[in-house]
Amino acid sequence: MDGVSFHVDRGETVGIVGESGSGKSVTAMSILRLVAEPGRIASGRILFGDEGKQKDVVQMTDDEIREFRGNDVAMIFQDPMTSMNPVLKVGFQIKEAMAAHERFTPKQARDRVVPMLKRVRIPAPEDRAKNYPHQFSGGMRQRAMIAMGLSNEPHLLIADEPTTALDVTVQAQIIELLRDLNRDLGTAVILITHNLAVVASLCTRVIVMYAGRIVEEGPTRQIFKSPQHPYTWSLLRSIPRLDEYQHEKLLTISGLPPDLTNPPPGCKFHPRCRFRVDRCLEEEPPLGEVDPGQKARCWVLMRNALAAQPQQAGQP
Amino acid sequence: MATAPSDYALQEDFVASEQYEVGESVSLWQDTWRRMRRNRLALIATAFVLFVLLVAIVSQFWTPYPIWKQGVGPTYQTPTLKHPLGLDQSGRDILSRLMGGAAISMEVGIGTALLSSVIGIVLGLLAGFYRGWIDSIISLVINVWYGIPDLLVVIMIVVITGRRELLFIIIAISITAWVNMARLVRGQTLSLREREFVEAARSIGTRDFSILFRHIFPNALGPIIVQATYLVPSAIIFEAFLSYLGLGVPPPNPSWGAMTAEGYRSLQYAPHITLIPALALGLTLVALNAFGDGLRDALDPRMRR
């Protein structure tokens, strides 16, 4: 991970997309300082809070970081099957999440469990609170995880591939739920996913990551309409669409993501890039502004590439 | 890409209208008991263990004759109606002494299991959870301790300190018996701490103490209980062995091991003095082990057959 810098505004929904191993999850884990053992935060800052009185997560003491987790930022994980403690009742676990911080009295915490379950649309919440996780379906468990994450009213919810392990129909419900909670509670959401459809339906801004770097960033609409980095462009062209390019073959991105212990010189995407120029092999491009609000890390940019080689667009 | 809002409305109706069957909550222990009931050997063993426990408790209030009263009848007498298990070399009632011995065995067994479990669980949790230098130190102690014969350590403790009361015997055995429990708990903790629910708990700011005792410990409870039930018979035989060597609870306390040793001298003409406590010891050990096996199978349904 190198040179990843981004911001999330209050109440905003930001999507982070990229393929496996591109550093999406590590970025999210870093925000809570939960990076697993061999990894560590070598340098950098993670600022949180209102303008002017921001706290740096990297500098926090252990007690501060513990208060920060859950209270200010909560996280939900990919697999709801394994994210809950199998031996404790669901309601109890939600209560525990609140008991970890002194925001609510024990009685308040107890009284909040059922409304939290109701808020995430779990049917019969009074009965369900007394169930064990294995008596919940996958979708319900993810809802319960969201309830747990939101129980301390954090300002930011990090959802690390919240729908990957779920059925397609349940995915839509979870995404809808996240959208409504974002709207009703004003909780900012960072959504980590490799599902572009999820990003399109939920996020106002999107960050595309490749090989531990941000390669493109901007408002969702703009990125989907005119991606400037070849990687983003290829990603968008590699999924079937009903409305456009109906008679074209789907694009594949050949090759594998680079080995990050021994990254290629220059632009990290150049071995797989069909638009590369000589400069890409030697010098890594900066993340530069290409349009108002939109940044891309590329020497070429898609608008120039497509203008120069129009046949490439349709000839993968 | 973006799904039309009407689709979502439809799904919400679907969620709201569906009739959910909320299953009754079956606790782990109800479930375990249900499986245990199907295992006949384990059930018999459980009944036997409960019977020994009951006898041990009764012996504290009532025995047919006072436990250490000598000459209640002819010495070396074989079983009669008045003395169903006969009399020993000092003319003491063997049934009464057997009952008292059950109490001592159970106290040693359960006491050691509890004490060494507590030591083992705490050290195992700390080593597995914090890793690093804490784990290095605890693991070193475990490995060194593992290499020294238990019996040697206990005999040395008893001989050097010269104390032989029951509580001291329990402590001495516990000092050697915690090692396996610590190993087990350390291993369980190492694997459980990587589980996602632990990470999830951490991500909402749960304290280390809560993670250890609310999330990791209860999930390791099954193997811990099984290990603890195996500790009971091994402590009982340990105590019997010490008593046989004359290093256990001092006479005239009726330890089964001591009774066996006392009768050994008259084995040729009064074998019942040795055989009866030996049989009681053997049966109790078999029952406790079978109980532990049954519990293990019942607690972990995946492991069965």
**This prediction's pTM:** 0.74
> Which residue does chain B place closest to A37, by CA atoms?
B194
pLDDT of residue B142: 92
Burial B254-279 (b: 16+ CB within 10 A, else e): bbbbbbbbbbeebeeebebbbebbbe
For residues A244 and A282, state if they share a domain. Answer: yes
Strands A288-291 and A294-296, by their bridges, are antiparallel
Terminal CA-CA length for chain A: 30
pLDDT at B19 over 60: no
d(CA B53, CA B50): 5
What digits encode the pLDDT tens for the residues A71-105? Answer: 888 888 877 778 888 888 888 888 888 888 877 88
How much is the mean pLDDT over chain B?
A: 82
Residue type, A28: A
pLDDT at B287 over 80: yes
> Which residue does chain B place closest to A147, by CA atoms?
B204
**Hey, where are the domains in chain B?**
109-305
d(CA B241, CA B256): 9
pLDDT of residue A316: 40
For residues A71 and A156, state if they share a domain. Answer: yes
* Residues from chain A contacting residue B214 (CB–CB below 8 Å): 85, 88, 96
pLDDT of residue B124: 94
pLDDT at B222 over 70: yes
Residue type, A9: D
pLDDT of residue A314: 47
Among A34, A149, A152, the residue with its CB nearest the CB of B202 is A34
Give long-range contacts, CB 8 A cutoff, 24+ apart: A49-58: A57/A31, A57/A32, A57/A33, A58/A33
What digits encode the pLDDT tens for the residues B23-78? Answer: 555 566 777 788 888 888 889 999 999 999 999 898 888 878 787 777 777 777 77
pLDDT of residue B4: 44
pLDDT of residue A52: 65
Q: Single out the residue in A149, A174, A203 at which a domain terminates.
A: A203
Q: Single out the residue in A203, A219, A245 at which a domain terminates.
A: A203
Q: How far is A103 from chain B (nearest CA, A)?
A: 12
**B87 DSSP 8-state letter:** B
Give long-range contacts, CB 8 A cutoff, 24+ apart: B4-11: B7/A172, B8/A172, B8/A173, B8/A176, B11/A169, B11/A172, B11/A173, B11/A176
Nearest CA among B179, B129, B164 for reference residue B246: B164
Strands A213-219 and A288-291, by their bridges, are unpaired
Nearest CA among A248, A159, A145 for reference residue A199: A159
pLDDT at B289 over 80: yes
pLDDT of residue A311: 55
Among B197, B199, B204, the residue with its CB nearest the CB of A100 is B204
pLDDT of residue B255: 83
Query: How many beta-carbon pairs below 8 A join chains A and B?
Result: 112
Interchain pair B219, A87: CB under 8 A: yes
Confidence of residue B242 (pLDDT cuts 50, 70, 90): confident
d(CA A103, CA A217): 36
For residues A199 and A85, state if they share a domain. Answer: yes
In a domain, A6, yes or no: no
pLDDT of residue A246: 58
pLDDT of residue A289: 85
d(CA A266, CA A256): 17
For residues A258 and A131, state if they share a domain. Answer: no
Among A132, A173, A200, the residue with its CB nearest the CB of B11 is A173
Can you spell out the DSSP letters for A77-130? -S-TTTSS-TTS-HHHHHHHHHHTSTTS-HHHHHHHHHHHHHHTT-SSHHHHTT
pLDDT of residue A248: 63
pLDDT at B3 over 80: no
The token pair at A193 is 């996913």
* Residues from chain B contacting residue A132 (CB–CB below 8 Å): 25
* Residues from chain B contacting residue A34 (CB–CB below 8 Å): 199, 202-203
Interchain pair A87, B218: CB under 8 A: yes
pLDDT at B18 over 80: no
Q: How far is B21 from chain A (nearest CA, A)?
A: 9
* Residues from chain B contacting residue A145 (CB–CB below 8 Å): 200
For residues A45 and A136, state if they share a domain. Answer: yes
pLDDT of residue B8: 43
Interchain pair B204, A128: CB under 8 A: no
Among B203, B206, B207, the residue with its CB nearest the CB of A75 is B203
The mean-pLDDT minimum among B21-25, B216-220, B241-245 falls in B21-25
Strands A47-48 and A188-193, by their bridges, are unpaired
Nearest CA among B91, B180, B111 for reference residue B143: B180
Among A34, A67, A200, the residue with its CB nearest the CB of B203 is A34
Domain limits for position A229 = 208-314
In a domain, A4, yes or no: no
Q: How far is A97 from chain B (nearest CA, A)?
A: 6
Contact residues for A191 (Cβ-Cβ < 8 A; gap 6+): A13, A14, A15, A16, A159, A162, A178, A198, A199, A202, A203
What digits encode the pLDDT tens for the residues B92-106? Answer: 888 888 898 888 888
pLDDT of residue B12: 44
d(CA A25, CA A16): 9
In a domain, A160, yes or no: yes
Instruction: Suggest the residue from B1, B17, B24, B203 to mutate for an interface test with chain A (most A CBs closer than 10 A).
Output: B203
For residues A180 and A88, state if they share a domain. Answer: yes
Q: How many other CB atoms are there within 10 angstroms of residue B23's CB atom?
A: 11
Q: What is the radius of gyration, based on Cα positions, of chain B?
A: 26
CATH class of the region B109-305: mainly alpha
* Residue A126's CATH number: 3.40.50.300
d(CA A86, CA A122): 19
Q: Single out the residue in A175, A203, A231 at which a domain terminates.
A: A203
In a domain, A3, yes or no: no
For residues A87 and A154, state if they share a domain. Answer: yes
Among B18, B23, B196, the residue with its CB nearest the CB of A77 is B196
For residues A57 and A135, state if they share a domain. Answer: yes
* Residues from chain A contacting residue B7 (CB–CB below 8 Å): 172
Torsion angle in degrees (nearest 10) through CA of A8, A14, A20, A21? -10
Low-confidence ranges of chain A (pLDDT < 50): 314-316
Q: C-alpha angle B126/B131/B137, rounded to 5°?
A: 75
For chain A, the domain total comes to 2
pLDDT at B14 over 60: no
User: Are B295 and B232 spatial neighbours (Cβ–Cβ below 8 Å)?
Assistant: no
d(CA B78, CA B271): 9
User: Are B84 and B95 spatial neighbours (Cβ–Cβ below 8 Å)?
Assistant: yes
pLDDT of residue B11: 45
For residues A215 and A270, state if they share a domain. Answer: yes
For residues A226 and A243, state if they share a domain. Answer: yes
* Residues from chain A contacting residue B206 (CB–CB below 8 Å): 66, 70, 96-97, 100
> Which residue does chain A place closest to B192, by CA atoms?
A85
Q: How far is B45 from chain A (nearest CA, A)?
A: 28
Rounded average pLDDT over B198-211: 85
